[in-house]
Amino acid sequence: MIKNIFLTSFRNIFRNPVFSFINVFGLAVSMSLGLLIILIVKEQYAFDNFHKDADRIYRINTKAIRKDGGSENYASSPYVMGTAVKDGYSFAEEVVRINRQFNGDASYQTVSVPIHGFFADSSFLDVFNFQLESGNPSTALNGPDGIILTRETAKKIFGNGETIGKIISFRGYGNFTVKGVFKEFPGKTHFDFEAIASSSALPALEKLQVVMESLQNWDNYYTSYVYVKLKRGQLVEVRSALAEISRKNYAGRNLETRDKAYEFYLQPLRKISPGPILSNNLGRSLPQMVLLFLGILALVILVMAGLNYTNLMIAKSLKRSREIGVRKVMGASRWQVFSQFITESVVFALFSLIASYIILQFLKSAFLQLHLTQEFSIDLKEDAWVYSYFILFAILVGFLAGSLPAGYLSGFKPVLVLKDMWGKKTNTRQLLRKGLMVVQFTLSMIFIAVVLILYHQMKFLLKADYRINDKNILNVRLLGNDYNKLAVELQSVPGVKQIGFVSHSLGTFEDYSDDYKRKPSDASFTMRDFRADANFISNLRIQFAAGKNFSPDLNGEKESEVIINVKALMLFGFKSPAEAIGQQIYAADSTPLRVVGVVKNFHFRPMNYEIGPLAFRYRPRDFQIMSISFEPGSKDRLIAALSPIWRKTDPVHPLQYALMRDEMNDSYTTSGFSDILKVMEYVSFLSIVLACLGMLGMVMYNTQLRIKEVSVRKVVGASVRDVTVLLSRSFMWLICIGVVIGVPASWLLSNLFLQNFAYKISYSILLIMEGVFIIVFLGLITVGSQTIRAATSNPVKSLRTE
């Protein structure tokens, strides 16, 4: 019987090649998205699975509760938290404290290599299953000079030579002795490092002010991470202990920051990636929201392809009703008929799987170009398990897509079918088919309208006026080099107008902030700031509401002046820009700063944010970027002159530069907005293809059923126009209904997207009407291609068979 079911399924598939192609192609393009999601999910849920007892390893995260009533969750926590847990409680089998302030250039003889890593306790190698290919894991991180390198880093520094016992100089940190080299990691991990140094080095480095104070500082939860390996059955005790630690160290304190209090909680190691969105992540951790977003889009496209299959199968039900009637008269049960159609559906899905795998290869290539995949190192490798998941997925899709038509068709009454009475009971069937088509075009309308609005929003962002001069300015990363030396050498380069310096890129998501107050006794508030010189402010042509730029003879060792914007006046209690000039304010470290200027408000962050309070401070030790203002048309000459100067100054690091406006625009790529737009463009394209394919199949089938009627009408005098309108009218009504439902839905969804931007386009219904035009136009082409063909056919050929 099973053999007969499969043979019948194959025969029915090849008997109707056009409808089979529509079904297979529709399922293939939609299933390719599903296969992509399977690859991403499998990869992301494999993170950190290779650690022994991973189910008992947790990270202690911080929830910072702001004074303004908000809160923010951090992956980091105070370094001293690990000390408190280790010394004061018994629930932890092991505690690992990590400090991320270990980045710079490692030098050995004539070789210098920039590397990144962190300081860690020796228990790191006991808790996590990172194996050493050389060195002793029991002693590698015991002494303050111990360091372990990854295999790739060791090869960069020492080539293929011996590494253990070699001393490398780490700029700013002193000398370290290589005590171990890691084997290649057995799997993916959220940790991102090239070297790990012993945390025993921190006390001396903290005393020398090489690293920020963290060992005993409960207010510093930015630079450290604490992991614990719990004894079994200790979760309840841990939660109460963390609450007790919070009360003991923060209750009753008036924090000199924007925070009012802190709460601490556990995050399982296996739920770090993918996991919730957290600030200050230690390594790569894909947010669960990204997977959810991609999964929902893939599901919608799969549903649309399934609707196509359901629609066409139900439409063909009249043709196969006698087959079903005969089967039932011959003794077939409803379950056997149901099995026949489900098998046919699964065979369709398996055929589609072959095509979808081919499409997946192109889809993978496009997906890996997104910033998202580069940020989180998604590589989408395939293995035997993945292929088994693909086959199971195809069978599931086939079963779900075929369930509705199989249930519907297997319920035919044989007496009614064989007496030709079933065709008279078609109202329910037609209503269902029409309803499914309306759903398809509604979804297509929503996708296209949202993409159009996001596209116009992107254009708006790329052309937005930040109220500063952002043209003809080249930003160069200093990478720890002497900024004065570079400035002297570059000043004589033709085309260079002026060179300034700043702590971080303006108009991007790079962020500096500090706590400020009017008087030492006042409550502090948080304000973003740039550490810049007078030339940087001059390059941007920032307009002053009162006062002046920084004095040219400022002492770089001791801060004394500050420039604020108009938005900051109210926070300090100044009634006007003029009133603020000459007044003294205080930074978080109680540094007194005299207000020398008040600048007009301008956009210093991406357009996601409203203009907030801002300060410019002159602190040369924080300069990270050289801002070069150049004559129009001289960029290429400037870069050509800059390259040899840079190589002479810094032979280790490659020159990193970008136009200021390009950096500002690129921030929308790094934030994921452009990725969302690209994904939505692809999904909207798929949705309209599927909707048009479904309608094409329905129109073809409808014209086949009515070809005799069309021939009779033409014989009695109906024109091509009359016949075309007759055949097209019902389908165009379905498109119009889908549009009417889709317009308000797309309006609401677009508003939801644009809520993430403080500054956005003012769009009207006319913008959404662009989407309406696209849908109607494509619908007309799809319907017209078949109805006009039927209307212009020779009626004699059709009537001759009667």
Q: How many percent of the chain have pLDDT more than 90?
A: 37
- Measured CA angle at 619 (ends 617, 623), to 5 deg: 110
Reference 619, options 536, 542, 558; nearest CA is 558
The mean pLDDT of 568-595, rounded to a whole number, is 92
pLDDT tens per residue across span 487-528: 998 988 999 999 999 999 999 988 888 889 999 888 788 899
pLDDT 10s digits, 145-163:
999 999 999 999 998 888 9
Provide mean pLDDT across the span 322-331.
Answer: 67
Q: Is 90 exceeded by the pLDDT of residue 702?
A: no
What integer pLDDT is reported at residue 467 of this predicted model? 94
Nearest to 391 by CA among 432, 346, 431, 433: 346
Tell me the pLDDT tens digit for each residue of 436-468: 788 888 888 888 888 888 888 888 888 899 999
pLDDT at 421 (0 to 100): 46
Q: What is the pLDDT of residues 247-272, one digit of tens each?
A: 998 887 777 777 888 999 999 999 99
Hey, how many other C-beta atoms are within 10 angstroms of the C-beta on 628? 29
Distances (CA, A) of 504 to 478, 512, 532, 603, 627: 11, 8, 9, 15, 10
Tell me the percentage of the chain whose pLDDT exceeds 70. 92
Q: What is the pTM of this model?
A: 0.81
Asked whether residue 638 carries a pLDDT value surpassing 70, the answer given is yes
Specify which residues 114 forms β-bridges with.
Answer: 105
pLDDT of residue 763: 73
- Which residue did the predictor score with more confidence, 697 or 118? 118
In angstroms, the Cα distances linking 158 to 131, 166, 171 are 20, 9, 17
Sign of the dihedral defined by the CA atoms of residues 644, 648, 650, 651, in that order? positive
Q: Is the pLDDT of residue 775 over 90?
A: no
Q: What is the mean pLDDT of the chain?
A: 86
pLDDT band at residue 8 under the 50/70/90 scheme: low
pLDDT at 425 over 60: no
pLDDT for 359-389, tens place per residue?
888 888 888 888 777 666 666 777 778 888 8
Rounded CA-CA distance 381/488 in Å is: 50
pLDDT of residue 296: 87
Q: What is the CA radius of gyration of the chain?
A: 34
> Alpha-carbon distance 181 to 197, whole Å?
12
Give 658's pLDDT tier (boundaries 50, 70, 90). very high
Residue 129 pLDDT greater than 90, yes or no: yes
pLDDT at 630: 95
pLDDT computed for residue 683 by the predictor: 85
